[in-house]
Amino acid sequence: MSKIPRKVVLAYSGGLDTSVILRWLIEEYRCEVVTLTCDLGQEEELSGIEEKALKTGASKAYVEDLREEFARDFIFPLLRAAAVYEGRYLLGTSVARPLIAKRLTEIAAAEGADAVAHGATGKGNDQVRFELAVYALAPHLAVIAPWRIWNLKSRTDLNNFAEKHDIPLSAAAKRYSMDRNMLHLSYESGELENPWEEAGPGTHTLSVPPEKAPDKPEYVEIDFEAGDPVAVNGQRLTPAALIRTLNGIGGRHGVGRLDMVENRFVGMKSRGVYETPGGSILYAAGRDLEGICMDREVLHLRDALIPRYAAAVYNGFWYSPERDCLQAFMDKSREVLTGTARVKLYKGGIYPVGRKSPNSLFRKDLATFERDDVYNQADAYGFIRLNGLRIQGYGRGRRQPASPTRADEAGGTCCDR
């Protein structure tokens, strides 16, 4: 930093990293620190967090309920894009960072702060996500990333610092690096740093292990309107309440659990465990309903763009022109998605079993294996012949030449000699 900050707004979760950072900022810069804790659906994790921040040295502690905004303006756009990173990760941490950064800059303006701070490490993706968002929204603010400048080099060092300064920590926070919101709960560190070792029982919080799930399946119906989910089993719910309801249903059946090694934006591979019960149900139900609502070419084009969209979100470019343009296409492509998807949950699995829509493009009179008077099967002859013209030409060029004769192998015909 070019100058010592006077007042800093810290993105504060109350976990190991940000608890230590709060005290470290005060001691390092002799500055005033205001904390911001965003309620994004962490549930019990926010209990007593304001008191903890003040006790640790914050001059003021904001705890804000952003659950509906998070669900409506961040999670739902993500779901409309059917976005998954590297084909599996539902971006639960990635999509939360731009909202936290947005609120950080707003509070910094209200408090007259000249800097913001975050607890992301210099090895991870979150530092990029936070700082790119701040650059987009309030480029005049300085950004402090303690992990890149202090002399604490490990989680062991942080635990020792916390004990020295009487900062209370949960047992789970000491074992894992965790991030939780209404969409997911992630785990890193501990035994997870060995890709071969199975994740321990402490990585099951939102969902039961599949082997402990009920022996009887449960059916769930989800209603969609113009691309967004609006009801569960016929009950209309707000976006946040809908996700919370599906988290409870999915959690008791052990669905939405992922253990993967992914490619971080900064260049390394990282192993994480994710629990995303409600989000996984919404993803599966939405993708299934797309099958009867979306035009084939639009669906295929949208699917081709999913990796680009997911990478933009994962890499921290939520507030970017490319994500805005992609979002416009994703929203337009899914505006036909009105209807109901029915899924069966059983022992960790999500199985679509039924779908219906007033916008359905499925025609039984065309698809039936019974007699129909609509489709002339003889038309397929010309269709295949026309499509085969290109393949015939390609095949002709690939055909192998005839095997040489014995005379050829001997050096030519008798006339040649």
Structural domains in the chain, CATH included, are 7-83+92-177 (3.40.50.620), 185-366 (3.90.1260.10)
pLDDT over 50 at 416, yes or no = no
**Residue 414 pLDDT grade (very low, low, confident, very high; cuts 50, 70, 90):** very low
Q: Do 280 and 90 touch, CB atoms closer than 8 A? A: yes
Cα–Cα distance, 346 to 214 (Å, whole number): 8
Given CA atoms 104, 105, 109, 110 in this order, what sign does their dihedral have? negative
- Per-residue pLDDT tens over the stretch 118-177: 999 899 999 999 999 999 999 999 999 999 999 998 878 999 999 999 887 765 555 788
Instruction: Give the closest residue to 277 by CA, choosing from 184, 157, 147.
Output: 184
2 has pLDDT over 80: no
Contact 144, 116 (CB under 8 A): yes
Q: How far apart are the C-alpha atoms of 168 and 53, rounded to whole Å?
A: 11
Of 134, 168, 126, 139, give the one whose Cα is nearest residue 22: 168
Residue found under tokens 């029915």: 342
Question: Which alpha helices (H) appear in 165-235, and where do they start and end?
Answer: 171-175
Coil vs helix vs strand at 378? coil
Q: Tell me which of 33-47, 182-196, 243-257, 261-275 is least confident.
A: 33-47
Whose CA is closest to 84, among 343, 219, 260? 260
**pLDDT tens per residue, range 276-311:** 999 999 999 999 999 999 999 999 999 999 999 999
> Does the structure show a pLDDT above 50 at 249?
yes
How far CA 71 is from CA of 162, 229, 329, 341, in Å, comes to 33, 11, 20, 20
Among candidate residues 268, 272, 23, the one with its CA nearest the CA of residue 122: 268
Task: Give the mean pLDDT of 317-332.
Answer: 98
Give residue 101's pLDDT: 98
Residue pointed to by tokens 């569960």: 232
Per-residue pLDDT reduced to its tens digit, 60-83: 999 999 999 999 999 999 999 999
Name the percent of the chain lying above pLDDT 90: 81
The pLDDT assigned to 299 comes to: 98
Cβ(218)–Cβ(255) below 8 Å: no
| Token pair of 80 as six digits | 């409309």
Cβ count within 10 A of residue 42: 19
Per-residue pLDDT of 356-410, as tens digits, reads: 999 999 999 888 888 888 889 999 999 999 999 999 988 887 776 656 655 555 5
Q: In this structure, what DSSP letter does residue 202 have?
A: G
328-333 own/partner pairs: CB under 8 Å, 24+ apart: 329/302, 329/305, 330/77, 330/80, 330/81, 330/82, 330/302, 330/305, 331/77, 331/80, 331/227, 333/294, 333/298, 333/299, 333/301, 333/302
Q: Could you give phi then psi for residue 199, rounded to 5 degrees?
A: -60, 140
Q: In the prediction, which pLDDT does 415 show?
A: 45
Read off the pLDDT of each residue in 344-367 and give the average, rounded to a whole number: 96
Measured at the alpha carbon of residue 149, what is the angle toward residues 148 and 155, in degrees to the nearest 5? Answer: 65
**Residue 44 — very low, low, confident or very high, per pLDDT cuts 50/70/90?**
confident
State how far the alpha carbon of 296 is from the alpha carbons of 178, 301, 387, in Å. Answer: 40, 9, 18
CA distances from 336 to 227, 239, 352 (A): 7, 19, 19
- Say if CB 224 and CB 341 are below 8 A apart: yes
Give the residue numbers marked as catalytic.
17, 97, 126, 177
Stated pTM of the model? 0.90
Residue with more model confidence, 46 or 127: 127
Percent of the chain with pLDDT over 70: 94
Per-residue pLDDT band for 14 (boundaries 50, 70, 90) equals confident
Give the DSSP letter string of 290-350: HHHHS-HHHHHHHHHHHHHHHHHHHTT-TTSHHHHHHHHHHHHHHTT--EEEEEEEETTEE
Q: Is the pLDDT of residue 223 over 60?
A: yes
What mean pLDDT do residues 263-284 have? 97
Q: How far apart are CA 162 and CA 102, in angstroms?
A: 29
pLDDT at residue 400, as a whole number:
65
Buried b (16+ CB within 10 A) or exposed e, 291-322: ebbbeeeebeebeebbeebbbbbbbbbbbbee
**Token digits of residue 130:** 């936070």
